[in-house]
Structure 1
């Protein structure tokens, strides 16, 4: 019971083989089997269609030759472009935080508001900080007021030292004179002993005077340290007061509301987030096999999903690849005075590269060989099909731009899937048909 479907399948396969592969021979065999018309009908048919017979090719195609459609393609110079997918990114984004603790006493600004550089965003209640500043200022004034008194002690101590040295010299002279008089019998031993005691007393006075000088100098150094400490206290108190007013670091747009009136901020608490959108960056990531085609300063363009098409130059190309994607960051800096471009918009980036010779072909001309390599079937000088691998640069409305082919080449556009390398073909060129 299954022999009939099998025979039917074989007949269908034979018919399809004749229609596709051996088309001419198949129709020739069918015409031989069909009943011949009489002479009158033949004459009448000949008279009716003289033009068709005139257009028939005189020579028939040999067996094994496959008809194909082809195109004579000539390479042309084109500026290659590196195509990337990316997004817009704010030139700067800062989370402005508090450096002091306290209650917010300023009216909040709402997100989306444009702020100028230095504009007040949040104001913190000063509390007792003004009192601390006044106290530190008073200690500084007191320390500075003591400076003349302490400085005056140094000359006084030095004068006492000089006086002690003079008394020592006098005592030594008296002692020497008493010693000589005693040797001649003109002075008693008691007088000699008194002069020696005076010398020792004078030496002690010198030591005391030197200690006084050092003490006066140490007092001055201590006073200087007190002054510096008081100045540091004043600076610290003033800095605390200056930090009460939190200002915008640059002109931009508020991405969040500023801190609410009456809320308590701690050091590190968020006051607001400010972003700068003029200029704005367009960021993409270049694969490592194309990174050498991109240079800083190269002309580029970006097409946004929602927004104007922009042109700019490459301002940054990363020297380090992303550890996960193995791609390199590239940035364009685009003027955005009207803030028409938003942060985070998807963008298609085209970066201009060097000029190359390329062919423009229809996408349907591309095919794959047995190894899965992308290419086209071409026709050599012996009218044989030959596979050539190509590199796709980009697609355009007029076709696909490819490289890897000779400057002039005949490319099979229809029928490339039915031939292999070395198969003889009979091409019909598109430009001749058109």
Structure 2
């Protein structure tokens, strides 16, 4: 009774006892938890490896292509300049007009050039007569070799002067240097031009080129003379041959310029439009995959996750060789590779995994799934 009365009179003893019991219980639990955690960490069998589906795959030879964006352009472009001076008296071709090689585009005033030609012809005739006379006298020993040489020199000078004036007269007709179209006319009737002044821009539209730039790695497998295709932004698809590849990379971009030559006899293909060039780059070993299993590393590089012999995850940077209705072909993996097809998003390089290998039938079915990929190369 005394104990009960004491507790009634001092209730804080009860609260203190309860608090002491709670503290002892919590300390006991923490110790047990730490012991259990220590045991778990010291036992490697407790950690379970992540299951991933893996396809054991062999690389196969495929035809590879290089796809680059470029633009069409005339095969040749010339800036026509005046080769004699004179005033423009006639422009015979409008902008965009087609002209055959040798056709006159711009006419200059001939002024007195015809009279100069007649005078030069007369002087040539007189020089020829003097030369013949000296030659006849020299045969009869009435003339020296010196006088004959002087007469011959005068004859050659007269011939050269006649040719010079004839060329000067011909240069008053500014002509098309090849079959093509007048791109730009830089003079009008009444303008005066001096030697070297630009008169017109003339382009060859019978043949077009499609220009683009390829990377250092893509340059290796390209060949001059190879047949290639290009799809224009207008929807037209054209075929031609590779006529030029830069021997030296462009300094700032480290790329190589290529040119595809395309016939355009009907002038149906426009110049200056965007085009996607599709160039064969030979056969190479590649793996066929579904684009869905491509991943990015921390640096933003595109690649594939594989499983090594020790069941650790590896990341390999890959290049896309080509893609089509049967899937995507990539290079950058070993010829034989264990490719993670399911679960690659839940593991990272260096992780230990439990690979679950696909059966042959499942591998073939994966190719059918990849067939949903539309052809882009």
Q: What TM-score, normalized by structure 2, do the two folds share?
A: 0.73
2:316 to 389, 395, 416: 389
Q: CA deviation at 1:322?
A: 2.4
2:125 to 141, 147, 153: 141
- Asked whether 1:287 is paired with 2:271, we answer no
Match of residue 254 from structure 1: 182
Residues 375 and 387, structure 1, Cα contact 8 Å, conserved in 2: no
Residues 143 and 226, structure 1, Cα contact 8 Å, conserved in 2: yes
Residues 108 and 260, structure 1, Cα contact 8 Å, conserved in 2: no
Q: CA deviation at 1:112?
A: 1.0
More strand as a share of residues? 2
Matches within 5 A, 1:106-255: 106-151=90-135, 153-154=137-138, 216-255=144-183
Query: For residues 297 and 146 of structure 1, do their structure 2 counterparts lie closer, same or farther at Cα, with a shift above 3 Å needed?
Result: closer
Q: CA deviation at 1:283?
A: 1.7
Runs (5+) with no aligned partner, structure 1: 1-61, 159-212
Match of residue 316 from structure 1: 244
Match of residue 353 from structure 2: 424
- Asked whether 1:77 is paired with 2:61, we answer yes
Residues 52 and 344, structure 2, Cα contact 8 Å, conserved in 1: yes
Query: For residues 305 and 126 of structure 1, do their structure 2 counterparts lie closer, same or farther at Cα, with a shift above 3 Å needed?
Result: same
Match of residue 254 from structure 2: 326
Larger radius of gyration: 1
Residues 113 and 165, structure 2, Cα contact 8 Å, conserved in 1: yes
Q: Distance in 1 between matches of 2:141 and 2:58?
A: 105
Please report the RMSD computed on the Cα atoms of aligned residues, expressed in angstroms.
3.1
Residues 317 and 331, structure 1, Cα contact 8 Å, conserved in 2: yes
Query: For residues 116 and 288 of structure 1, do their structure 2 counterparts lie closer, same or farther at Cα, with a shift above 3 Å needed?
Result: same
Query: For residues 124 and 69 of structure 1, do their structure 2 counterparts lie closer, same or farther at Cα, with a shift above 3 Å needed?
Result: same
1:268 to 196, 209, 213: 196
Q: CA deviation at 1:70?
A: 4.7
Q: Secondary structure at the match of 1:320?
A: coil
Q: Secondary structure at the match of 1:246?
A: strand
Query: For residues 68 and 104 of structure 1, do their structure 2 counterparts lie closer, same or farther at Cα, with a shift above 3 Å needed?
Result: same
2:265 to 337, 343, 354: 337
Q: Distance in 1 between matches of 2:126 and 2:258?
A: 61
Q: CA deviation at 1:295?
A: 1.4
Query: For residues 229 and 360 of structure 1, do their structure 2 counterparts lie closer, same or farther at Cα, with a shift above 3 Å needed?
Result: same
Residues 313 and 347, structure 2, Cα contact 8 Å, conserved in 1: no
Q: Distance in 1 between matches of 2:239 and 2:81?
A: 36
Q: Secondary structure at the match of 1:249?
A: coil
Q: Distance in 2 between matches of 1:401 and 1:148?
A: 84
Residues 69 and 429, structure 1, Cα contact 8 Å, conserved in 2: yes
Q: CA deviation at 1:137?
A: 1.6
**Number of residue equivalences:** 317
Runs (5+) with no aligned partner, structure 2: 1-45, 367-377
More helix as a share of residues? 1
Matches within 5 A, 1:373-388: 374-379=302-307, 384-388=311-315
